[in-house]
Amino acid sequence: MTAESAADAGEIKVQRSREPESAAPDSPRVPAVTQAIEQVNQVIEELKRALDEMEEVLETLEFAERQKIDDEREIDSLQRALRRLHRPAPSGPPRQ
């Protein structure tokens, strides 16, 4: 959460604390506003959880990418070694 969004969340809570303890019966907007604030807070929490999950996925993908690069290097190394083993012997003077 950024400092700005934290300040915004604090502002919402300050506004909520300024609401009168008991709303007048002819003022249905207060509960609606309170409900809207609670819904926004729930959305914020769900977004935080989603962000945490996305960070975990990113870490997994980064690990997989590093592993893939390491595997490719190992394959290249093994292919070079295999080519060296299959090279024909250099022709030179016959052995006696």
pLDDT at 89: 72
pLDDT at 58: 98
Residue 19 near residue 34 (C-beta atoms within 8 A): yes
Cβ atoms of 50 and 25 within 8 Å: the answer is no
What's the token pair of residue 96?
């006696």
Calculate the alpha carbon distances from 49 to 1, 10, 40, 52, 54 in Å: 12, 20, 14, 5, 9
5-49 per-position pLDDT tens digit: 544 555 545 445 555 555 555 655 679 999 999 999 999 999 999
**DSSP assignment, residue 95?**
P
Q: Percentage of the chain surpassing pLDDT 90?
A: 56
